Amino acid sequence: MPLFDLSLDQLHEYRPDRAEPGDFRSFWDTTLAEARSHPLDLTLTEHDLHLPLVEAQDLSFNGFGGQRVRGWLLRPRGLAGDLPAVVHYLGYGQGRGEPLDWLAWPAAGFATIVMDTRGQGARGGTAGATGDQAGSDSPHVEGFLTRGVLDPHDYYYRRVFTDAVRAVEVAHALDGVDRSRIAVHGSSQGGAISLAAAALADGVAAAMVDVPFLSHVARAIEVTDTRPYAELLGFVRTHRDRVAQALATISYFDGMTLAAHAHVPALFSVALMDPICPPSTVFAAYNHYAGPKEIDVFPYNEHEGGGTHQSARQVRWLRERFA
Amino acid sequence: MPLFDLSLDQLHEYRPDRAEPGDFRSFWDTTLAEARSHPLDLTLTEHDLHLPLVEAQDLSFNGFGGQRVRGWLLRPRGLAGDLPAVVHYLGYGQGRGEPLDWLAWPAAGFATIVMDTRGQGARGGTAGATGDQAGSDSPHVEGFLTRGVLDPHDYYYRRVFTDAVRAVEVAHALDGVDRSRIAVHGSSQGGAISLAAAALADGVAAAMVDVPFLSHVARAIEVTDTRPYAELLGFVRTHRDRVAQALATISYFDGMTLAAHAHVPALFSVALMDPICPPSTVFAAYNHYAGPKEIDVFPYNEHEGGGTHQSARQVRWLRERFA
Amino acid sequence: MPLFDLSLDQLHEYRPDRAEPGDFRSFWDTTLAEARSHPLDLTLTEHDLHLPLVEAQDLSFNGFGGQRVRGWLLRPRGLAGDLPAVVHYLGYGQGRGEPLDWLAWPAAGFATIVMDTRGQGARGGTAGATGDQAGSDSPHVEGFLTRGVLDPHDYYYRRVFTDAVRAVEVAHALDGVDRSRIAVHGSSQGGAISLAAAALADGVAAAMVDVPFLSHVARAIEVTDTRPYAELLGFVRTHRDRVAQALATISYFDGMTLAAHAHVPALFSVALMDPICPPSTVFAAYNHYAGPKEIDVFPYNEHEGGGTHQSARQVRWLRERFA
Amino acid sequence: MPLFDLSLDQLHEYRPDRAEPGDFRSFWDTTLAEARSHPLDLTLTEHDLHLPLVEAQDLSFNGFGGQRVRGWLLRPRGLAGDLPAVVHYLGYGQGRGEPLDWLAWPAAGFATIVMDTRGQGARGGTAGATGDQAGSDSPHVEGFLTRGVLDPHDYYYRRVFTDAVRAVEVAHALDGVDRSRIAVHGSSQGGAISLAAAALADGVAAAMVDVPFLSHVARAIEVTDTRPYAELLGFVRTHRDRVAQALATISYFDGMTLAAHAHVPALFSVALMDPICPPSTVFAAYNHYAGPKEIDVFPYNEHEGGGTHQSARQVRWLRERFA
Amino acid sequence: MPLFDLSLDQLHEYRPDRAEPGDFRSFWDTTLAEARSHPLDLTLTEHDLHLPLVEAQDLSFNGFGGQRVRGWLLRPRGLAGDLPAVVHYLGYGQGRGEPLDWLAWPAAGFATIVMDTRGQGARGGTAGATGDQAGSDSPHVEGFLTRGVLDPHDYYYRRVFTDAVRAVEVAHALDGVDRSRIAVHGSSQGGAISLAAAALADGVAAAMVDVPFLSHVARAIEVTDTRPYAELLGFVRTHRDRVAQALATISYFDGMTLAAHAHVPALFSVALMDPICPPSTVFAAYNHYAGPKEIDVFPYNEHEGGGTHQSARQVRWLRERFA
Amino acid sequence: MPLFDLSLDQLHEYRPDRAEPGDFRSFWDTTLAEARSHPLDLTLTEHDLHLPLVEAQDLSFNGFGGQRVRGWLLRPRGLAGDLPAVVHYLGYGQGRGEPLDWLAWPAAGFATIVMDTRGQGARGGTAGATGDQAGSDSPHVEGFLTRGVLDPHDYYYRRVFTDAVRAVEVAHALDGVDRSRIAVHGSSQGGAISLAAAALADGVAAAMVDVPFLSHVARAIEVTDTRPYAELLGFVRTHRDRVAQALATISYFDGMTLAAHAHVPALFSVALMDPICPPSTVFAAYNHYAGPKEIDVFPYNEHEGGGTHQSARQVRWLRERFA
């Protein structure tokens, strides 16, 4: 895909109206309070990796609605003192996979939580272990983006973002973790969830947000027709009289609005030829972001963004920040 | 797609082992009894079509788990006496759409129920109105085929087939319907649901099953990689150690087994170049079908099968049968 | 396909030069006079549909050059008085198919003529019954758009539009039809033909024009390369020195020009992501339309436009207008 | 496309039933007699190529129905005595293009006729100059393969093959041509036409038939779904009750049958991975061919077959044969 | 591909900065001097074509690094006096193929050299005979565009352009050639090489440059993602920190810069819908071209540009020029 | 891709003729001796990863022709005693990327060498650092598979396999490595290189070969047309008279033959729906493999094979074997 969105100069200035709902804050306060009415009920089960350097535990806790959410906890062996931690959120369709998929942060000395995205993790080779025990009141396109999209209380990402906040609480509840040094990280859908955690959870000290999904959604469906945004496009093409209702639901979850409520230091990345998460939708979130921030721009890349190149950069950035 | 499956001669003889679970009958007896513990609670609301010939009602009833299922009831105007009825089930992804989408059976003099497939109906232009209020305990591929596929009690089609049986009960509960002349009909996923209704519901007098999906699934994922079977292929590619478990779940829902439990007269159709529902999987059901049966073979067609050509044939077939 | 054409604001103002040939009116007067030199010679043959609500007749008449054109006549049963009528024209490649394909207008109380597009109707499942008995003097790309494109007298759509005018005359010639309430309707190619009939036929009382093809063609081949416009693109790519000649031919058939000659009330529809009939080409016709007019805009849809959703709207619109 | 058809050993033995119509010979005798009732009326117009080595003339003559068929006549300059000649027929969609496209045979010392295929030549860069002045009585798929396919008298290739025979008569009518050394040549559709000319024309001394189309058509539509065979597939998918009628029409034009009526020395070529003209359909013609014959097999090629490599071989083969 | 680049008006004015390296001239002087340190060592071997009008010789000479480069020499037979000559360069991936592929210039009376592009000629049916005996110091994407792209001395096209200059020297060294009438010609990659030869070789009298590749490369990778430019896009997506280095290398080979150093009369062609060599990149070279110039614009064509239509035009243009 | 190759039962018995060249052993002995005439000249440069658990060094050594080959050396920190080692070879097109890409073996306690594949590593996000300093004498398709394919001495994989043997020698030369516990590992092209190292290098104690490429190549190009085998298909389609020569070259490098010369314990994996490296070509190598062996079969997977699932299995397998 060649360049198809705004120019880099325009992107740096691009700050569209957020369409933030008046009750945004109370919606989330109520949602999280309800979730916290269930005990976190963290369980950790040894998972033998046969790795001398890293130990793994199968982790589960109560997320939204008191429903169980699974994940991994990986810890570097042999490091002294309380460890800093990273909570890692996953891309669309991915599951927690194998511990071997997530060795970078433990190798860098971080206790690492990898959180399943409920219901996801059944393709692409990375198996999930968490169902979405809640149904939805309205029909939806195959996929997760339009589940319950006609009502913010019924919307799928209300459950996922709540799970994400609780996963930060899990990090705080772990032995051997330094609670002042907990970061969140993710790419694409994982970037969206990271933004949500940075905005909604307490005790997050840094956020790394790569090519985030679910940001400036009303524009996204006008400039791209790739999956997963195409799911929403499919919905509004079929439910022609429910477009405003669907977009109103999403406004509680849009990265632009969440960004405006996040205050921790953040490192974003964006790719200027990204047809999955178009750069204008990423900059829309970045330019609204309320905390200290940097963004790495990859001018020729598509949705792969900075790849492992960016991972190495993030290790350096986070270690400096947490030094 | 050129010919890719067995020859027509082989197809007529093809009768693979059904792998029917020992508790198949009791599984369904228990499932349906549970559903019937909820009252049917049928509601009908006038829907003004502005059509002098056909009247429509927005229909809803309690399906699986007592959850509301929506649909349409269409009736021809001006015909005397109790009407025969057709319960129509939908293809994958479709919703009940507009009453205008379903005029053939009413024009042919049948009271017509169009049942939403829970959760579906958000793309392809035919909007549904029914959510799937139940979640699933395990992760799944985008789509519906692998929802809850690790446990037959949790499986999506347990809910759908139960809804389908209850939709037949709705037909029996309607005023002005001749209960001895109730037929079921559907194509693709709708064909699978029709087979299920023919096998599991009481008071079905005829079944029309076009290019049915969800039949001989273990073979389907070896001979085709098109959607929706590709969803299951995605699952077994990722959950490499859960293949047997997934196939065991599906064996409670496989068209081959359901066919062996159905005894009403049936008219099938099949297309020999169908890459979505390969002909060997259709004949696997047809050859196991336990009632009087005919099959119309379209040697050059793909999944469109007989199209409206077959609809005209079905009108004649059913009117003769119900004369 | 994401948004790729003018913005909605620009579309409402878009009124390009029509390039109307000086002899446009006389070209058509002569053409129609020649056609009328042949008797209409309408024949109707009973076609047993087995439908208690609708009766069908196989219809044929003399179109351009006195050549036979086939179609269906469908009539609702049991309605008193002279009926209003709709003449329905088909999309590219479609044939008249089965009467079951066209039940909406009869169910709405309209005598309905479905006219074959000569030569078309051999794919897509809707069989035609009408050949194009005229050849063309020049080579053409596979398809119909470039047949005879080097001379307006030889051009394929000269024959089709003439057939369309004669089909309106058929409606006037039918028993039991109220000649003051005859409408034309079609989508895509059918929309183009409807525009032509509204402009060129006498006794049309309303026009419904969905996502029309063959409008502002000179722009169409610059902004889209999808079929059928791609046929013309193929032609001008090969006959590099005949571009002006081909566009001059088409100017006698362009929807913009026809629109400027039509005066009956019209209901248009357009889809802003339509890659087949781009929105600027539709608005070019709409903004030139000379009669009372409305347009329904579908902001996210592609060429499916409003689908059955729009059909329901059209039934209401036309019944109000003909009440 | 990997290997998908019979093995080479099987191909050499493959000799399916020809399904030759009983009146095959009389059908063609009558057809050609009718054509010959029109004078050939050959015209040649100088076309200045600015080439010192080759001179070109724009050629036209009366083909089927006395309709004008265009082409090129190219002659090498400066060679003494009567020249041998090649009549060259074109691939599907091609037109006669520019004289520069056809320099190989003139450079090899042959007077060369390139015959337009009526109606074709509007894409792919090689412009034709010949319309198909005859229409067809039945609808057809976009393209030429199904024009008039419901009746052999109305079928498009009846006209084309008749034109081809007349083009051989043109070669005989030319000054400076040695009538005992006239060959026919073509690839794909041109191969089919060459076979027809070899079978039906008088005074052909050799035939070169590359990867011929329109042979063993009943099998072709079962083993490939590529264009142009896909046009017929589209037709039989739509006109489900006209399959036998369409295949009966084509049996008068099938390369297998024509091959059995051809007796001049022939050089065929075939490519084993050809998805356009599958090798079994080519060998079906070759194995039925009634004259002296050779076939060059390209085991890894697709429809490009032997390309210019084969052209060089044909120059050697034909020069030896005509030495 | 519809129009996607600048408008024709804009194109005529488009003259971007060339980013010409300061040592451009000395880079090439040194490069060519080094090449000329090897004797040309021309060899010609008879190749029997069996063509009375054209004779062919298998040609080889020392190109860059004294490495052997192969090609064809074709000569018209029977023309008196010294002949004008054309050196023809090939498109990406092509090899010299068969002499039969290159008959137009000989038929037009020109001695014709067809030069292999080292390493290329192994697909697309036109076999090459020349390896690239030099390796590269850096990794590269499959293909030729990024070979050695991190250093101008190591870059693949340094070798190719040097070969091209030496091929002009071959033309000068041939018996029977009029050294004052030597032209260069090529399309796409061949157009790029022609530009290079026009700029860098002595004794070129005219250049024909069709839809040239490798021009204004920095823009090309922003407006198209088709091959071969996609190879460079792949490189900069992976070697994210080497973008400037890669573009700096290419600046020694960019058509814009070469054009500014060429002074002989030139005939360009460009196609406005060309997705392979976008029109703005072609006009960038054309508008910088320093000699007398014309450009033929094909408004609807893609990369095929003017095809044989343009070949006929070039024959006329060059014969007039060399008359 | 559905199942397209032999059945699993057939695969277990599939043992085609190897077509081993008579001088296979001496060809490789001579090749390796020549390489060893250059000193290994290993250099290691610290590369600061900022990872407390793993240290990395930028590694280079003299491979084929004494040319420098780059790679990474990763070592787990804090483990006592000499470490076992893995030499890891890369898939087609990949480069050594970032150390973060290769953490599994170090985390499992192995010194790990990742060897660049010369010339590769410029797309797909994993950058290489090694050029292929040798050219080839013959033209080739874009890519690496056909470089020098007309002569085994000139063939690209002669250089790569030699580099691979030298990389094993590097492992033996490292401090802190237990020379009795050195394994080789790779997937796809990396699997082919691993097989070569197992067959040709001294001092390999175990081999892990995932879905290997370059095995039973003569069959591969008949059953698949995907990249990279498609490169060879492109070559033989163009160089129609060089097929035997190309296949004779490859016989020195074919996995089947190499397998017959390897004697160390091996763990293979294969995927039955793999269109890149078809299962029959993998089993051809496995069934000829001369040492103790196991194979993991993934019945539904494509070329991703066992993915990280298999990595976890390999860690266990190798640790047991090296315990």
> F123, E142: Cβ pair inside 8 Å?
yes
Residue F244 to residues B260, E78, F218: CA-CA distances in angstroms? Answer: 56, 40, 10
Report pLDDT for F1. Answer: 76
Taking contacts as CB-CB distances below 8 angstroms, the residues of chain E near C222 are: 2-3
Q: What is the residue-averaged pLDDT of chain A? A: 97
Domain A8-134+155-216+255-322 has CATH 3.30.460.20: no
Report pLDDT for C1. Answer: 76
- Mean pLDDT, to the nearest integer, of B52-73? 98
Query: Helices marked H in chain E — which ranges?
Result: 8-13, 24-36, 104-107, 156-173, 189-200, 217-223, 229-238, 243-250, 255-260, 279-288, 307-321
> F243, D306: Cβ pair inside 8 Å?
no
Report pLDDT for B213. Answer: 98
Q: What is the residue-averaged pLDDT of chain F? A: 97
> C222, E2: Cβ pair inside 8 Å?
yes
> C316, B79: Cβ pair inside 8 Å?
no
pLDDT in tens, D124-173: 879 999 999 999 999 999 999 999 999 999 999 999 999 999 999 999 99
pLDDT in tens, F254-286: 999 999 999 999 999 999 999 999 999 999 999
This prediction's pTM: 0.97
> D223, B3: Cβ pair inside 8 Å?
yes
Task: Find the CB nearest E100 among D53, D304, D308.
Answer: D308
**Which H or E run includes D219?**
helix D217-223
In chain B, the percentage of residues whose pLDDT exceeds 90 is: 98
pLDDT in tens, D243-277: 999 999 999 999 999 999 999 999 999 999 999 99
- Mean pLDDT, to the nearest integer, of B281-308? 98
pLDDT in tens, A177-233: 999 999 999 999 999 999 999 999 999 999 999 999 999 999 999 999 999 999 999
SS3 string of chain C?
Answer: CCCCCCCHHHHHHCCCCCCCCCCHHHHHHHHHHHHHCCCCCCEEEEECCCCCCEEEEEEEEECHHHCEEEEEEEEECCCCCCEEEEEEECCCCCCCCCHHHHCHHHHCCCEEEEECCCCCCCCCCCCCCCCCCECCCCCCCCCCCCCCCCCCCCCHHHHHHHHHHHHHHHHHHCCCEEEEEEEEEEECHHHHHHHHHHHHCCCCCEEEEECCCCCCHHHHHHHCCCCCHHHHHHHHHHCCCCHHHHHHHHCCCCHHHHHHCCCCCEEEEEECCCCCCCHHHHHHHHHHCCCCEEEEEECCCCCCCCHHHHHHHHHHHHHHHCC
Q: What is the residue-averaged pLDDT of chain E? A: 97
Dihedral pair phi/psi, residue D174, rounded to 5°: -80, 145
pLDDT in tens, F94-125: 999 999 999 999 999 999 999 999 999 998 87
Quick check: F100 contacting A, CB < 8 Å?
A: yes
Report pLDDT for C196. Answer: 98
Catalytic residue status for A274: yes
Catalytic residue status for E274: yes
Q: What stretches in chain C show pLDDT beneath 50?
A: none
Q: In this model, does residue B67 exceed pLDDT 90? A: yes
Burial class (CB in 10 A: 0-12, 13-18, 19+), B24: buried
Those of residues 114-133 in C touching chain E at CB distance below 8 A are none
Which chain E residue shows the shortest CA-CA distance from C221? E2
Dihedral pair phi/psi, residue B113, rounded to 5°: -105, 125
Give the type of residue at A300. Answer: Y
pLDDT in tens, D175-208: 999 999 999 999 999 999 999 999 999 999 999 9
Q: In this model, does residue E301 exceed pLDDT 90? A: yes
Catalytic residue status for E188: yes
Tell me how far apart the alpha carbons of residues A165 and D318 are, in angstroms, rounded to a whole number: 81
Report pLDDT for E125. Answer: 79
Say whether E57 sits in a helix, a strand or coil.
strand
- Mean pLDDT, to the nearest integer, of B151-175? 98
Tell me if B198 sits within 8 A of B266, measured CB to CB.
yes
**C-beta neighbour count of A296 within 10 angstroms:** 18
Provide the total of helices (H) and of strands (E) in chain A, helices listed first: 11, 9
- Mean pLDDT, to the nearest integer, of A87-97? 98
Taking contacts as CB-CB distances below 8 angstroms, the residues of chain C near A240 are: 298, 300-301, 306, 309
The owner of tokens 């060459």 is: D194
- Mean pLDDT, to the nearest integer, of A125-144? 95
* End-to-end CA, chain A: 40
Q: In this model, does residue A96 exceed pLDDT 90? A: yes
Structure tokens at B64: 């699986």
Quick check: E144 contacting F, CB < 8 Å?
A: yes
Those of residues 238-277 in F touching chain D at CB distance below 8 A are 240-241, 243
At least 3 CB pairs under 8 A between chains A and E: yes
Task: Break chain C into its structural domains and give their ranges.
Answer: 8-134+155-216+255-322
pLDDT in tens, E205-257: 999 999 999 999 999 999 999 999 999 999 999 999 999 999 999 999 999 99
Query: Helices marked H in A174-216 — which ranges?
Result: 189-200
Strands (E), F172-287: 177-187, 206-210, 266-271
Chains linked to C by 3 or more Cβ pairs within 8 Å:
A, B, D, E
pLDDT in tens, B101-141: 999 999 999 999 999 999 999 988 799 999 999 999 999 99
- Per-residue pLDDT band for D290 (boundaries 50, 70, 90) equals very high
pLDDT in tens, F25-82: 999 999 999 999 999 999 999 999 899 999 999 999 999 999 999 999 999 999 999 9
Structure tokens at F19: 């077509």
Report pLDDT for C46. Answer: 97
Task: Find the CB nearest E98 among D49, D78, D309.
Answer: D309
Q: In this model, does residue A35 exceed pLDDT 90? A: yes
Q: Is E89 among the annotated ligand-binding positions?
A: no
> C237, E306: Cβ pair inside 8 Å?
no
Give the type of residue at C307. Answer: G
Tell me how far apart the alpha carbons of residues F78 and F318 are, in angstroms, rounded to a whole number: 20
At least 3 CB pairs under 8 A between chains C and F: no
Burial class (CB in 10 A: 0-12, 13-18, 19+), D202: exposed
**C-beta neighbour count of B78 within 10 angstroms:** 12
Taking contacts as CB-CB distances below 8 angstroms, the residues of chain E near A299 are: 243
- Per-residue pLDDT band for D212 (boundaries 50, 70, 90) equals very high
> D3, F223: Cβ pair inside 8 Å?
yes
Q: What is the ipTM score, two decimals?
A: 0.97
Q: In this model, does residue E1 exceed pLDDT 80? A: no
Taking contacts as CB-CB distances below 8 angstroms, the residues of chain E near A304 are: 237
> E237, A1: Cβ pair inside 8 Å?
no
Q: In this model, does residue A1 exceed pLDDT 80? A: no
State the nearest Cα–Cα gap between E6 and chain A, in angstroms.
14
Tell me how far apart the alpha carbons of residues E168 and E191 are, in angstroms, rounded to a whole number: 15
Report pLDDT for A253. Answer: 98
pLDDT in tens, A101-133: 999 999 999 999 999 999 999 988 799 999 999
Structure tokens at F199: 């067959």
Quick check: C232 contacting E, CB < 8 Å?
A: no
Report pLDDT for E13. Answer: 98
Which of F219, F233, F280 to mutate against chain D (most D CBs within 10 Å)?
F233
